[in-house]
């Protein structure tokens, strides 16, 4: 399974329009080689380099396994967004206080659809994914705060 972006390569700089210094919109993403038997996909974008610990920038779950791309500035039609570290749903772009940070765009293929009441956060979704992950892939983007 693979996750890629036409906006940046793995371990390459994320263009400013996808950050708090630009339009703060999600970059385009492409999914490929989704395994047979996948019932849903989960996308988690987080920054492990944040000063207070891992910062969650986007959570989308119950994405159709048929989906092959997430267009720029859009949400997968059938996906449900979870709560981020910004304490709201939706994409929040890179915005490090200082220095260079890594942003992990993680894609998970599950053998089930997640059933959660209300709006969930990353930890709740990860708990619900236990023993259901068929495959996973990641794309790492880099960003350094602009002065």
Task: Work out how many domains the chain is built from and give that number.
Answer: 1
Which domain, by its residues, includes 32?
2-144
**Residues 6 or more apart from 78 whose CB is under 8 A from it?**
62, 63, 64, 67
CA 56 → CA 6, 18, 33, 52, distances in Å? 22, 15, 26, 11
pLDDT tens readout for residues 96-130? 888 889 999 999 999 999 999 889 999 999 999 99
CATH assignment at residue 77: 3.90.280.10
CA 60 → CA 2, 12, 45, 97, 147, distances in Å? 17, 23, 9, 25, 31
pLDDT tens readout for residues 61-93? 999 999 999 999 999 878 999 999 999 999 999
């Amino acid at each position: 399974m693979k996750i890629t972006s036409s906006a940046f390569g793995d371990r390459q700089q994320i263009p400013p329009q996808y950050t708090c210094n630009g339009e703060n919109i999600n970059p385009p993403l492409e999914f490929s080689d989704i395994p047979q038997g996948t019932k849903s996909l989960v996308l988690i974008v987080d920054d492990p380099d944040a000063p207070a610990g891992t910062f969650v920038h986007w959570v989308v779950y119950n994405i159709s396994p048929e989906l092959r791309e997430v267009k720029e500035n859009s949400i997968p039609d059938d996906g449900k967004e979870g709560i981020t570290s910004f304490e709201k749903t939706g994409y929040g772009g890179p915005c490090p206080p200082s220095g260079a940070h890594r942003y992990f765009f993680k894609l998970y293929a599950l053998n089930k659809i997640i059933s959660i009441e209300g709006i969930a956060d990353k930890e709740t979704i990860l708990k619900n994914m236990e023993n259901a992950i068929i495959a996973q892939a990641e794309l790492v983007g880099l960003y350094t705060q602009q002065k």
